[in-house]
Amino acid sequence: MKKIGFLGMGVMGLPMASNIVKGTGQSILGFDVAEAQREAFRQAGGTPVDDPVKIYKTCDVILQMLPTHAIIINSVEQAIRYGKAGNIIVDLSSTAPDIIQDLYEKTAAAGMYLLDSPVSGGNPMAIEGTLAIMTGGDRDAFDAVEPILKYMGHPVYTGGAASGDITKLVNNLAAGAMLVAYCEAYAFAAKAGIDLQTTFDATRCGFVGGPLYDNKIPMIIRRDYTPGARVAVHRKDILNVKHYAHKLGVDLPMGDVVLQVMDWMNDNGHIDEDQAAMVKYYEDKMDVTVGSNTWESPSPARLQ
């Protein structure tokens, strides 16, 4: 049986790692820089360690959900340094394709495998174990870890190295455009003076509806910006999109609009709030307040 380790147990990483513990029924090693997250992992049945080197040295499959390129690169390089040939490193983070290509070559030279395997769905789907998982790299490595990935969601093999991260860029470019459109539309609705809950009820079963709409619009209506997915993380993906588009020699006009809104969020101190908070950009531009923190979420029966 392969020994599994998980690095980075934040808002999404912790439920993902916990689902692997529940699914496999085996002792999974886990590391996070925050002691509270390590303790939460222990409560979920995992085996926290206080030094990631213990994972690099002892695990056959190393999964990582890390926040920045510098941390991602360092983690993979440490896994190469301390690990052994045949190990499979699964990067669940959203990483720039060119960085993954470079790291893939380094792991291959060490006789290891690197899968770029970014996820989509935010904290709610991470908890439910229903994330979309887009995995690039060697097919035999994917086949070996697919059963593990299935405990977190729905893995799809996308092709060679970096194809998973490129697929994620496609996903987050489209999602970013949708989120910005939602925020603009509901700011417009508020400015026009119509009831936002009625607007949601009337539109959610039409073409505009879907999981993202159902998740984010109630947050906008009740002004709840508790991060399920932070603007900061999504902005990193949009910057990666822009960088890769430049390499391809193409323009992304919609991506420019999304980045403009996210840059405003960054400049105005809202970058660590949920993506739903991007409505604040339109509140500022339209001089309107959208929603109310006294709004109560409808009962599950109402949402059937």
Rounded CA separation 221/189 (Å): 11
- CA proximity to 2, closest of 140, 145, 112: 145
Distance between CA atoms of 4 and 144, rounded to whole angstroms?
12
What's the token pair of residue 172? 């987050």
Rounded CA separation 108/165 (Å): 18
Say whether 168 is catalytic.
Answer: yes
Strand partners, 153: 131
Residue in 22, 168, 191, 285 annotated catalytic:
168
- Rounded Cα distance, 33 and 40, in Å: 13
The Cα angle at residue 195 between residues 290 and 273, in degrees rounded to 5: 25
Whole-angstrom Cα distance, residue 271 to residue 283?
Answer: 16
Cα separation of the two ends of the chain:
42
DSSP state, residue 137: S
Tokens of 291: 């929603």
Q: How many CA atoms lie within 13 A of 40 on its CB side?
A: 18
Distance separating alpha carbons of residues 192 and 205, to the nearest angstrom: 22
Task: Read off the tokens for 257.
Answer: 């609009």
Residue given tokens 């790692």 in the structure block: 17
Task: Give catalytic residues, as residue numbers.
Answer: 168
